[in-house]
């Protein structure tokens, strides 16, 4: 056999002896091995088994209700599917690539176990509406899990924000020290971002929550099915309205990946800040041992690997989104096998965001700010210059533009002397603006600057404390 340079062996291309037992009626021989290899999705779609069984149970109950199955047949199907569920759970299920996917693996096993009734289950249904249903159910479950994890991270951020609501740190624009803010305020900014992510996840969930089951292959069915019954049974709000759309639509997966991309981008930004804060140059925070690693060559190192990996995960999640968008582009109605490529990106992105949220929650929970260092830098770089300009407006009624100019000259003077604004004497101040008096010094401290920022959404510790408490109450409700 040929060997590729990388050591892999190419799959053999001879044919199987027998045709597929589920759809092989008109086929004389089985597929080429390479065909099975490219066709089979069981390697990754087995993860949908719970949703597949759930969908089949709902379908069977409906078939019984409309008279297409007897009560006895439905009972057999229920029992058979329960046993199959157990087999899968306990790792005893004989998954087969020849049976392509999770739907045919389960259906074939059902017939093996219960006979005739198992073969009736596929009445008025197709794998096309089956996969559309299973996949929606799976994404819906994942959305619920991710909302839960996001809420946990928000609560941890809010708890830290409450604890550090009055700890000053430099606020940056352009990564230049701009004005003092509090550490709590900075953490709560991420709570707001994550709250929008949750809101987007909920929106996506609402739009997703329609049942494709009963659309059959593409055109609906001639059987007198009750789609509202199966929709209700599966927790969907209603059946989908157009069978062609229902079997080919993957908007729900794309929307999910879009929302995850945005959330992963938020986590990436926070990760970047953690990486910066933990560097010796900033020295703003201490990360716990649990979320750092050592270097194999430099004994002094403590690397923020978890933050770096979360920072990077957005790359694969956005890649998953772009990958699926590209798969869907140009697909004609209705179902096409291309859509089988929808699953791996969604599974991959789900694993990535789940890990990221867990790691971020742990890092934030353990994070300890270096208050002295943050306080020191909060006052550096003339960070209270805006407070001085505001004082000139408020006390001397200078127009803001003029006050800005006066302050600029005072900053220039302090810079030349190598001192802070508060270190300029009153005489020096008066030489630039004669109206300045002693009370100006009250606004030049970091603490005064912070306390004054009481406008709605501002960084004043009193605001931050109230906001953190509000979030903790909301999240506990």
Least distance from ligand ARG to the Cβ atom of residue 125, Å: 11
Least distance from ligand ARG to the Cβ atom of residue 208, Å: 17
Residue from 221, 248, 252, 223 nearest 236 by CA = 252
Q: Tell whether the torsion through CA atoms of 359, 361, 366 and 371 is positive or negative.
A: positive
Least distance from ligand ARG to the Cβ atom of residue 127, Å: 4
Residues acting as catalytic residues: 174, 295
Least distance from ligand ARG to the Cβ atom of residue 197, Å: 28
**Contacting range for ligand ARG; rule: CB under 6 A; set: 167-175, 283-291, 336-344, 448-456:** 336-344
User: Residue 220: phi, psi to the nearest 5?
Assistant: 85, -165
Could you tell me how many residues of this chain bind ligand ARG (CB under 6 A)?
10
Look-up of token digits 């533009």: 401
127 binds ligand ARG (CB under 6 A): yes
Burial 242-266 (b: 16+ CB within 10 A, else e): ebebbbbbbebbbbbbbbbbbbbeb
128 binds ligand ARG (CB under 6 A): yes
**Contacting range for ligand ARG; rule: CB under 6 A; set: 50-58, 115-123, 331-339, 429-437:** 331-339
**Contacting range for ligand ARG; rule: CB under 6 A; set: 169-177, 191-199, 255-263, 334-342:** 334-342
215 binds ligand ARG (CB under 6 A): no
Q: Which is nearer to ligand ARG, 43 or 412 (CB)?
A: 43
Angle of helix 305-328 relative to helix 343-366, nearest 10 degrees? 160
**Contacting range for ligand ARG; rule: CB under 6 A; set: 84-92, 303-311, 335-343, 362-370:** 335-343
131 binds ligand ARG (CB under 6 A): yes
419: left (phi over 0), alpha (psi -120 to 50) or beta: beta
Least distance from ligand ARG to the Cβ atom of residue 119, Å: 18
Find out whether 230 and 137 touch, Cβ atoms under 8 Å.
no
186 binds ligand ARG (CB under 6 A): no
Find out whether 391 and 302 touch, Cβ atoms under 8 Å.
no
Q: Which is nearer to ligand ARG, 273 or 341 (CB)?
A: 341
Burial 191-214 (b: 16+ CB within 10 A, else e): bebbbebbebbeebbeebbbbbbb
Residue from 275, 268, 358 nearest 313 by CA = 268
x/- string (CB under 6 A) for ligand ARG, residues 96-125?
-----x------------------------
Find out whether 450 and 384 touch, Cβ atoms under 8 Å.
no
Q: Dihedral angle at the C-alpha atoms of 476, 262, 161, 276, nearest 10 degrees?
A: 150
340 binds ligand ARG (CB under 6 A): yes
Residue from 191, 186, 183 nearest 163 by CA = 183
Least distance from ligand ARG to the Cβ atom of residue 38, Å: 12
Which residues are CB-neighbours of 331 under 8 A, at least 6 positions away? 248, 338, 339
41 binds ligand ARG (CB under 6 A): yes
The conformation of residue 217, written as its DSSP 8-state character, comes to T
Q: Which is nearer to ligand ARG, 104 or 157 (CB)?
A: 104
**Contacting range for ligand ARG; rule: CB under 6 A; set: 180-188, 260-268, 306-314, 337-345:** 337-345
Among 20, 248, 339, 356, binds ligand ARG (CB under 6 A): 339
Angle of helix 343-366 relative to helix 127-163, nearest 10 degrees? 10
Q: Which is nearer to ligand ARG, 49 or 291 (CB)?
A: 49
Least distance from ligand ARG to the Cβ atom of residue 135, Å: 8
* Residues of the shown chain interacting with ligand ARG in the complex, contacts defined by CB under 6 A: 41, 45, 101, 127-128, 131, 335, 337, 339-340
């Amino acid at each position: 056999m040929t060997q590729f340079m990388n050591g892999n062996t190419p799959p053999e291309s001879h044919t199987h002896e027998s045709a597929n037992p589920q759809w092989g009626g008109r086929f004389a021989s089985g597929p080429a091995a390479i065909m099975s290899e490219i066709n089979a999705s069981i390697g990754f779609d087995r993860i949908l088994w719970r949703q597949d069984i759930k969908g089949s149970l709902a379908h069977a109950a409906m078939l019984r209700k409309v008279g297409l199955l007897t009560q006895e047949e439905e009972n057999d199907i229920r029992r058979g599917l329960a046993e199959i569920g157990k087999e899968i759970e306990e790792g005893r299920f004989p998954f087969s690539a020849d049976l392509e996917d999770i739907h045919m693996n389960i259906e074939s096993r059902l017939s093996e176990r219960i006979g005739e009734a198992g073969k009736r289950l596929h009445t008025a249904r197709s794998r096309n509406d089956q996969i559309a249903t299973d996949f929606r159910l799976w994404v819906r479950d994942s959305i619920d899990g991710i909302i839960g994890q996001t809420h946990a991270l928000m609560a941890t951020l809010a708890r830290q924000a409450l604890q550090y609501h009055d700890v000053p740190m430099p606020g940056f624009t352009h990564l230049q020290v701009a004005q003092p803010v509090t550490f709590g305020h900075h953490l709560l900014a991420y709570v707001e971002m994550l709250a929008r992510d949750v809101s987007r996840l909920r929106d996506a969930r609402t739009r997703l929550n329609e049942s494709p089951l009963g659309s059959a292959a593409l055109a609906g069915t001639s059987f007198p099915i009750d789609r509202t019954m199966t929709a209700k049974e599966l927790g969907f709000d209603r059946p989908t309205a157009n069978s062609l759309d229902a079997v080919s639509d993957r908007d729900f997966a794309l929307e999910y990946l879009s929302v995850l991309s945005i959330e992963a981008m938020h986590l990436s930004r926070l990760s970047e800040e953690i990486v910066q804060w933990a560097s010796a140059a900033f020295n703003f925070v201490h990360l716990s041992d649990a979320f750092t690693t050592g270097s194999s060559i430099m004994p002094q190192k403590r690397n923020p690997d978890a933050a770096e990996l979360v920072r990077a995960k957005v790359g694969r999640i956005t890649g998953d989104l772009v990958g699926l968008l590209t798969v869907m582009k140009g697909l004609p109605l209705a179902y096409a096998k291309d859509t089988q490529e929808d699953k791996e990106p969604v599974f991959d992105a789900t694993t990535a965001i789940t890990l990221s949220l867990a790691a971020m929650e742990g890092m934030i929970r353990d994070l300890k700010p270096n208050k002295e260092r943050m306080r020191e830098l909060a006052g550096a770089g003339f960070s209270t210059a805006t407070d001085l300009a505001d004082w000139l407006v408020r006390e001397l009624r200078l127009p803001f533009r003029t006050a800005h100019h006066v302050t600029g000259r005072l900053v220039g003077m302090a810079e030349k002397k190598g001192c802070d604004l508060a270190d300029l004497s009153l005489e020096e101040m008066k030489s630039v603006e004669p109206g300045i008096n002693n009370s100006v010094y009250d606004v030049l401290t970091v603490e005064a600057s912070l306390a004054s920022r009481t406008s709605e959404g501002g960084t004043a510790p009193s605001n931050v404390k109230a906001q953190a408490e509000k979030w903790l109450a909301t999240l506990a409700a």
